[in-house]
Amino acid sequence: MLTKDSVMQRRSIRKFSAKAVSVEIIKEILEAGRAAPSAKNRQPWKFIVFGGERKDELLSCMERGIAREEEKPLLPESAKGIADCRNTLRIMKEAPITVVILNTNGKSPFEEINSDDRITEICDTLSIGASVENILLRAAELGIGTLWIANTCYAYPEITEYLNTDFQLVGAVAMGYAEEKPSARPRKPIEDIIEFRM
């Protein structure tokens, strides 16, 4: 069982060693993701694991997408995040493994959807969030560092075209042995985030 320590000691890792992560460990980590609860038991997640030259190809697509976003943005109001996205790409290049996460029921965020489909999308996104948290926690228990990445949004069309998928690209997790031990990031006071109406 996960303990309070597992939850409280997990960190986002941004410096990785080049040491390989075995397929067996990756499978064990993703098995924890598969065990997550999901709305209506839809299990809307799909994980695509990249390493080596295939990871280089994926990240080359992401780099092209970032360059395109600077010239012809699909997300013009998010332009201030491009510098952070480039830093995330640097981290992903350093990590030996990148796991791409797809919503098998979702559509591109650049497509219009009706209200019913939007509710389904919200529920499936919550389910995928639970799955990813399981992945992050199990990885930490096995001594593997992770970084949960949403910056793939800046290269959405380039990455989904490379993947040859119509599934919704939710994000990615960079994975490998950590080369740092970061301190806990600040958290809002508990009084600011909890409201009791009992």
75-92: average pLDDT: 96
In the chain, what percentage of residues exceed pLDDT 70? Answer: 99
Phi and psi, residue 144, nearest 5°: -105, 130
The 10s digit of each residue's pLDDT in 142-168 is 999 999 999 999 999 999 999 999 999
N-terminal to C-terminal alpha carbon distance within the chain: 30
- Domains belonging to the chain, first-starting first, are 11-177 (3.40.109.10)
Q: Helices in 20-151 by DSSP H: which ranges? A: 23-34, 52-71, 82-94, 115-141
Q: What is the pLDDT of residue 182?
A: 87
Q: How confident is the model at residue 2 (pLDDT cuts 50, 70, 90)?
A: low
Whole-angstrom Cα distance, residue 97 to residue 184? 24
The 10s digit of each residue's pLDDT in 10-58 is 898 999 999 999 999 999 999 999 999 999 999 999 999 999 999 999 9
Mean of the per-residue pLDDT values for the chain?
95
Q: For residue 64, which of 147, 152, 1 has the smallest C-alpha distance?
A: 152
Q: For residue 65, which of 150, 169, 153 has the smallest C-alpha distance?
A: 153
Q: What is the pLDDT of residue 9?
A: 86
Q: What is the pLDDT of residue 179?
A: 92
Q: What is the pLDDT of residue 8?
A: 86
Give CA separation, 107 vs 27, 71, 137, 161, in Å: 27, 25, 28, 14
The 10s digit of each residue's pLDDT in 54-70 is 999 999 999 999 999 99
Does position 1 have pLDDT exceeding 80, yes or no? no
